[in-house]
Amino acid sequence: MKERGTGYFGRLMAGLCHHCPICRFGRQNPASLIGRMLHHRVHADHCPFWKREREVYGTAKDED
């Protein structure tokens, strides 16, 4: 788990998104309808839970 100055509440929000079955499915299957909706700019830029999940856990690109 990568922590970049995110407080307790931010980590809690990230954990909810990270363990959410819908969000998990969307991250694992980005070409699916749910994946496209979650990765769409409108959701990705405005969902505070998704943003915190990206800050705390990073993306696949960050791990390379």
Q: Assess if residue 18 is contained within a domain.
A: yes
Q: Assess if residue 34 is contained within a domain.
A: yes
- What is the residue range of 48's domain? 8-59
DSSP 21-59: HHHHHHHH-TTSHHHHHHHSHHHHHH-HHHHHHHHHH--
Q: Assess if residue 37 is contained within a domain.
A: yes
- Over residues 8-63, the pLDDT tens digits come to 898 999 999 999 999 999 999 999 999 999 999 988 889 999 999 988 888 754 44
Number of domains in the chain: 1
Does this model's pTM top 0.75? My answer is no
Q: Assess if residue 64 is contained within a domain.
A: no
- Residue 6 DSSP one-character state: -
Q: Assess if residue 20 is contained within a domain.
A: yes
Q: Assess if residue 1 is contained within a domain.
A: no
- How many degrees, rounded to 5, is the angle at CA 21 between CA 52 and CA 49? 15
Closest C-alpha among 47, 46, 18, 22 to residue 35:
22
